[in-house]
Chain A
Amino acid sequence: MPKQEMDGVELFNLALSIVGTVLRDGDQKVSELGELFEVSEAAVKKAVLAVANSEDLKNYETHFYVDLEELDNGYVSISQGMSPLGEPPALSKRQLSSIAIGLDYLAAIPQFAADAELQALRTLIRESSPAAVTNQTPTRLSEQIEKLQQALGRQLAVSCEYINQTGVKSSRTIDPLRIDFIGRRHYLRGYCRTSKELRAFRLDRIQSIELTDSEIPESTKALKIPEDVFGESAQEQLVEISASAEAAEVFWNFPVASEPRQVGDEVRGTIRVGNLAALGRHVAKYGGMVKVIAPESARAAVRDFANRAISGAATPGDEE
């Protein structure tokens, strides 16, 4: 995991954990503790100082003795004073819940569904819930993920057919880099050799994945994958929308141009839309709880999408 800045509470947790480790395993190098807990050496030192400075002023008691000279030399040496604390407390409800939810989330991913070690872990954690309440994961998705994992393991490009959000189909060769599972959608993050750019492809829009014998170039492996799955478009338009409280999540599905704000019972904001033809589906799904305010072309795109759905006509795609 990436090393992150730690706040006071996290440092406190680190201090508890370092005490447990050092009292059990003996003196440790600062660098090794940093590696173990995936934090910086500075964070380890700060946490150790928290242990050193834990004197009881009322009773003049020293809870722990820390060798500060050794700390300067890169070693952590702690011995117990008056404190009975010998190991860190068991996980809190909040810690357990956060891990249990994460594990439930993993269990809902097809490639982990039958994983015996995950099931055993979820039983051990005891906070876990059923991974899913319905069984809507198509077999095809599981097969796709398996193929992509093979490609990722063997570092090979894949070829596939892709249908974009406006219904346009294309054949692509992609260097797979990672599979993201965000919310409830799977995305293949990879370099598209066809469009010559780093892209995110929704797995449910990919068909007929085949492994090629072409290896993923080293230069591609070194590419930094952006956090967001939103692609960039040269023809981006600003669209002002409003949403009821219940449908405010619509703002999570687009890059926002201005922070959404509360106006009466509604949330208003401006989103950046790459293709108006694709806007209809994102707005119409909320059945009127989301409204496009401007521009008129965006309102028309949403209206047309809903009208076509009512009349049952096929959605026309781009003429690309």
Chain B
Amino acid sequence: MAKQSPAERLFTLTCCLMASPVVGLSKQDLFDAVPAYSESRGGDALEKMFDRDKKALRNMGVQLEVRNNDSFDDGESARYLIAKGTFSWPKDFELSPKQLGLVELAARSWNTQIFGSAARSGLTRLKSRGMVEIDRQLQHISPRLIARHESFGPLADAISACTTVIFEYRKSDGSQTVREVDPLKLRLIEGEWVLLARDRRGIKNYLLRRIVSKIRDTEVGFTPATADEVESAENDLVEYANANKAVIEVVPDSEAWWHFGAESEQVTISFMDEALLAEDLMEFGADLKVLSPSTLADRVRAGFEAVVSAHA
């Protein structure tokens, strides 16, 4: 038999796991059963290949479980099996042609970036369920997500694996601390990537651009937050942002006037982060003035002064 390709290896591994007895299979059982493993030279290279394959399977939705079973000999007690529910699609999971078109558009928005492959493979999977008719009336619009933060990939991996991560975080006041959190979700909020994560005090939002170290995955597992907990944290942010109001004065017929869709010289806007809003406003230079809050006005002025000083 010719050497197995990675796709053949992964497919065989999945089939072996699916056909396993209820007590699961040992690592050695799998090494003996999958041709690519049994024909390898063993050692570290094989272990690394197996680790990579486990991760790939999980990323593709094959929920691989490892259970300890002391009734087996040493070295055989870790039993691998596929979790129940792996092949259970939600009941009545059907999409209309337009919805499938929207999923395609959503997948395409990742372009070739990280998550692009996951989105494309998800779409492929949906089509294999018989949902094939796609409404392509949406072709005039081309959304493109940009996720270039170095932390994005490691965080996405940790979210999939439900493992705690550690990173250094710099707050907008400049203070820097080490955070150990359970990453729950990545979100793009008005152009900023935000990590929703849980620490000892609850669920919080972290801007990816303020993560200033590499992500260290502790590989310690955690129990995911419930959908209600996540929804509640997300709603808290909406409430918080809507309570934060800034009033600006824009120069009539200037770019700022057009940008904010102003109908009078004073424009009220809500914001989730004062430092981010200051950046947005500073881009318009003398086209606008902050009227309130005073902290924002001070921040904008201090920002311009820092620019002058840095370029003196």
Contact = CB atoms under 8 A, between A and B. Distances in A.
B8 A53 contact: yes
Given A56-B33, A57-B32, A13 B121 contact: yes
Contacts of A167: 254-255
A288 B87 contact: no
Interface in B154-207: 156, 159-160, 170, 185-191
Interface string A79-118: 0001111111111111111110111111011010000011
Given A12-B11, A90-B88, A138-B260, A129 B209 contact: no
B241 A303 contact: no
B96 interface: yes
Q: Chain A interface residue count: which class?
A: 35 or more
Contacts of A98: 107, 110, 115-116, 118-119, 122
Contact of A16 (B1, B60, B159): B60
B215 interface: no
Contact of A9 (B59, B129, B159): B59
Most chain A C-beta atoms within 10 Å of own C-beta, residue among B4, B85, B116, B286: B286
B5 A50 contact: yes
Most chain A C-beta atoms within 10 Å of own C-beta, residue among B1, B117, B128, B312: B128
A262 B109 CA distance: 29
B19 A10 contact: no
A166 B212 CA distance: 33
B125 A181 contact: no
Contact of A95 (B119, B130, B272): B119
A299 B261 contact: no
Which 5 pairs show the lowest CB-CB distances between chains A and B? A138-B261, A102-B106, A8-B6, A287-B303, A288-B306
Interface of A: 1, 4, 7-18, 20-21, 24-25, 36-37, 46-47, 49-51, 53-59, 61, 63-64, 82-99, 101-106, 108-109, 111, 117-118, 120-121, 124, 126-127, 129-130, 132-136, 138-141, 149, 152-153, 163, 165, 167, 178-185, 189, 204-205, 207, 245-249, 252, 280-288, 291-292, 299-300, 302-303, 305-315
